[in-house]
Amino acid sequence: MIPAEFALLDDPYAALKLRCQLIRGARSRIQAQYYSWEEDGSGKLLLAELLHAARRGVRVQLLIDDLYAGDNRFLEMVAHQPGIEVRLFNPFWLRGWRPLTLLLEGLLSFRRINHRMHNKLLLVDGGQGVIGGRNIGDRYFGLGEPPHFVDLDLVCRGLLCQQAEQGFDLYWRSRWSHPIRHLLRRKLLPAEVASVNGFLLTLAEPAVAALYDLPASLFDDEPVPLRWHAGLGEFCFDRPGKGLVFRPTMASELGRRLAGNLGALTLVSPYLVLTRGLRRRLKGQRLAGVAIRILTNSLASTDVPLVYGAYRRHRPWLVCQGIDLYELESEALSLHAKLILMGEEEALLGSFNLDPRSLMLNTELMLHLNCGPLCAELQSWLTPWLQASAHPQPQASALRRLLARVSDWLPLRPWL
């Protein structure tokens, strides 16, 4: 493991402000890798900050999964700015007439299209990084209409960021990543690009940003308060062709790192669909006397009711094993954090969910860290959510109950 410093970033507003400040302070390069980059206020603001950075001479590399990026016209525009390169991971080749062509290509090339890049990473100058569960979008930063996501980021600095940079380069140079400019449906006119980019640049002005409900305090010089802790860390990346040309590694890595755990085990996952291997691992931990707690979404709080339906089948087994289950009961909040606490010194944090899609299909990023003070801070963040979460008695709408039941009727669990 590699020495580094870590700081917890659990406040959604601070998570957006810190990203802005890191981009503003960049001197040589910015590398960003995300599953989803929304075309809303926060998404436009961060693109504006990247445009300003590029104009200062900073090299910007932006890698986005194409599942949600195809409708974001602003990504296409900023890709024409000198100093910025935008690439799409595993792109759809049929670019027009969405969502019809998405469905068509999904039917014709389901095996390839079903594999997505779920990683979330922001690196600045190779020395500072932000990882965690947050994509780029208002609901991840406490903006816009509810429901908002309950999520976590971790800020790291030091030599460990070089390992993260190597992982980013692995994806950036892979044959699965394609420049967005090569995928455009039509040639963009220079005047069109200049107009849109000029608009984005004005979003970095508080008066303009206020029109999009972005707080003026995002632009002040007051630093985001961070509590830094020294520790050790190691990144684990899936290879870009996971599940297609390379065997999945996240499941085996997760199992290997859980195998040595002897302390209490706490799992936080918004989507909980247990694979056979994960059930075997949890049962082994319980037989060894390890206390296990799990926090996940209820049917009322989940944003994917189909996944909840698959999880519901495992609840009796989990209870039978003596595992304490907690479900977030809220219609205004949806759990999106991904965290595993192992004893008092170790934690796993990143983009992975505890479901077949994360373990076997999507590429993921995981950080294994050893830092007692940070784990204590993570436990302090977690405790109120556990206390506020009732044992499973979800109250949800009839539509949500129907969608959850559909996953019982259809063989969807391997893809959830």
The model's pLDDT over 45-62, given as tens digits with 9 standing for 90+, comes to 999 999 999 999 999 999
pLDDT band at 184 (very low <50, low <70, confident <90, very high): confident
pLDDT band at 135 (very low <50, low <70, confident <90, very high): very high
Instruction: Please say whether the beta carbons of 374 and 229 come within 8 A.
Output: yes
In this predicted structure, the answer to whether residue 312 has a pLDDT above a threshold of 70 is yes
Classify the phi-psi angles of 125: left when phi > 0, otherwise alpha if psi is within -120 to 50, otherwise beta: left
Domain ranges in the chain are 2-219, 248-415
In this predicted structure, the answer to whether residue 411 has a pLDDT above a threshold of 90 is no
Q: What is the pLDDT of residue 405?
A: 67
Average pLDDT over residues 311-330: 92
Q: How does strand 29-34 pair with strand 59-65?
A: parallel
**Quick one: fold of 248-415?**
Endonuclease; Chain A (3.30.870)
**H or E element, residue 235:** strand 229-237
The strand ranges marked E within 318-364 are 324-328, 333-335, 339-342, 346-350
The model's pLDDT over 226-260, given as tens digits with 9 standing for 90+, comes to 999 999 999 999 999 898 888 888 888 898 888 88
One-character DSSP codes across 266-296: EEE-SSB---HHHHHHHHHHHHTT--EEEEE
Average pLDDT over residues 21-48: 96
**Distance (Å, rounded) from C-alpha 363 to C-alpha 375?**
25
**Considering the chain, what percentage of its residues have pLDDT values greater than 70?**
93
The model's pLDDT over 70-127, given as tens digits with 9 standing for 90+, comes to 677 889 889 988 999 999 999 988 877 777 777 888 788 888 989 999 999 999 999 9
**Considering the chain, what percentage of its residues have pLDDT values greater than 90?**
64
The model's pLDDT over 360-393, given as tens digits with 9 standing for 90+, comes to 999 999 999 999 999 999 999 999 999 988 655 5
One-character DSSP codes across 114-156: T--B---EEEETTTEEEEES--BSGGGTT-SSSPEEE--EEEE
Average pLDDT over residues 156-177: 96
Q: What is the pLDDT of residue 188?
A: 74
Average pLDDT over residues 285-291: 93
Same fold, 2-219 and 248-415: yes
Residue type, 145: E
In this predicted structure, the answer to whether residue 314 has a pLDDT above a threshold of 70 is yes
Nearest partner of 88 among 114, 67, 112, judged by Cα: 67
Nearest partner of 84 among 116, 112, 135, 46, judged by Cα: 46
Q: What's the mean per-residue pLDDT of the chain? A: 90
Average pLDDT over residues 352-366: 94
Q: What is the pLDDT of residue 313?
A: 86
Cα distances (Å, whole numbers) of residue 270 to 79, 149, 353: 33, 10, 7
**Distance (Å, rounded) from C-alpha 320 to C-alpha 115?**
34
Q: What is the pLDDT of residue 327?
A: 94
CATH code of the domain occupying 2-219 = 3.30.870.10
